[in-house]
Amino acid sequence: MKEWKKNIRQVVPYVPGEQPKCTSMIKLNTNENPYPPAPSVQKMCQNIDNLRLYPDPAASLLVETIAEYKGLSPEQVFVGVGSDDVLAMSFLTFFNGDQPIFFPDITYSFYDVWAELFQIPYCTKALDENFQIKKEDYYWSNGGVIFPNPNAPTGVLMPLSDIRDILDHNQDVIVIVDEAYIDFGGISAQVLLDNYENLLIVQTFSKSRSMAGMRIGYAMGSAELIRALNDVKYSFNSYTMNQPSILLGAESIKDEAYFRETTNKIIATREWFKAEMKELGFTFPDSKANFIFATHESVSAKEIFEAAREQNIYVRYFNKPRIDNYLRITIGTEEEMQALLTFLRTYLKK
Ligand SMILES: *Cc1c(COP(=O)(O)O)cnc(C)c1O
């Protein structure tokens, strides 16, 4: 072995969902929003200029717009290149203890990748047989806690009282709640921010705001946590947010009516789709996200996944312990879900 090879960092990377190049497909595999961003966002695209210049390193327009919308001070908001960037930065900033950090065994599969990358010790806590987080598992001494709410890929929402309980038992570490899907029917832990200085909440424009391609995420927390995040960011890359993202992100926040309309449409489609899937012999934990996590009574998930793919219908399949007989199906438009149901009825001969 060449000596220099020993100096290469060895990592097993996260594998994102497929982004197929073909145009005629039904894409329900990466939890994107089927509706376009707010009309004013499209219009604002024409007003992007000054690409010659570096963007505002503080992304003040976006930070201030989000802060005002959320009723926070700008000192309580941090923005980054998608919530993946914000979360990675948070692992680097907040998880520096000797004790392992805790997160669920079935959860967003980037957490263990970042822990490995940054050499943070971690310990996963098994969800119960109904895919619920057991809050008592988080009472033990640890170096930090992170979980999504609703959890991914299960869609299960944890009540605020349980989050408060986890915070009460974890006053000496940072607790991060990843709220990528909170706008599809959950209540944000933002109401707890005033009482817990060690709470960091991360949200994204990728799902509920239809802007996955723009890469905008943000964190909300006490001024002290946000200052620490900014110090790490400026030690890494001052210009994480590009000029179009800053402008278009701020524009999206202004159209509350459109945001409500599109998220409500997805919620309505999800509830109707749940009933249809039950008829077909699927079961799933109750989802409050823009996807459901379903298993069939007789046909294997892998088989359905592959057959759907043949028909250019893409859903997500994870070949992992405990969840290898489940499909994660993004809620698209009603037409897209109808097409999937038509395929399933034929395939399952119902
Ligand atoms: C989608 C997702 C993210 C990352 O979203 P970005 O596009 O990077 O903002 C983070 N956490 C969870 C649980 C997600 O599902």
pLDDT per residue over 70-104, tens digit each?
A: 999 999 999 999 999 999 999 999 999 999 999 99
Mean pLDDT value of segment 309-314? 96
Ligand 1: atom nearest CA of 31 is: 1
Give mean pLDDT, residues 243-268. 97
pLDDT band for 50, please (50, 70, 90 cuts): confident
Q: Which residues line ligand 1 (CB under 6 A)?
A: 31, 82-84, 108, 148, 152, 178, 180, 204, 206, 212, 217
pLDDT over 80 at 204, yes or no: yes
Residue 86 CA to ligand 1 centre (angstroms): 10
Strand partners, 291: 330
Residue 107 CA: which ligand 1 atom is closest? 13
Average pLDDT of the residues in 28-33: 97
Residue 17, pLDDT > 90, answer: no
Mean pLDDT of 321-328: 97
| Average pLDDT rounded to a whole number, residues 157-166 | 98
CA–CA separation, 107 and 104 (whole Å): 6
**Calpha distance 131→276 (Å, rounded):** 22
Q: How far apart are CA 338 and CA 107, in angstroms?
A: 28
Write down the pLDDT at residue 221. 98
Model confidence over 205-221: pLDDT tens digits?
Answer: 999 999 999 999 999 99
Task: State the distance from the centre of ligand 1 to the C-alpha of 204, rounded, in angstroms.
Answer: 7
Angle (CA) 137-139-143 rounded to 5° is 100
Report the separation in Å between the CA atom of 152 and the middle of ligand 1, taken as the mean of its atom positions.
9
> 43: burial class by Cβ within 10 Å (0-12, 13-18, 19+)?
exposed
CA-closest candidate to residue 216, choices 65, 83, 39: 83
Centroid of ligand 1 to alpha carbon of 206 (angstroms): 7
pLDDT score of 31: 97
Atom of ligand 1 nearest to the CA of 152: 13
pLDDT at residue 246 greater than cutoff 80: yes
Q: Look at residue 190 in the predicted model and tell me its pLDDT.
A: 98
Span of 37-46, 71-80, 185-194 with lowest mean pLDDT: 37-46
- Ligand 1 pocket mutation, candidates 149, 178, 330, criterion most atoms within 8 A of CB: 178
Rounded percentage of the chain residues whose pLDDT exceeds 90: 95
pLDDT reading at 337 higher than 90? yes
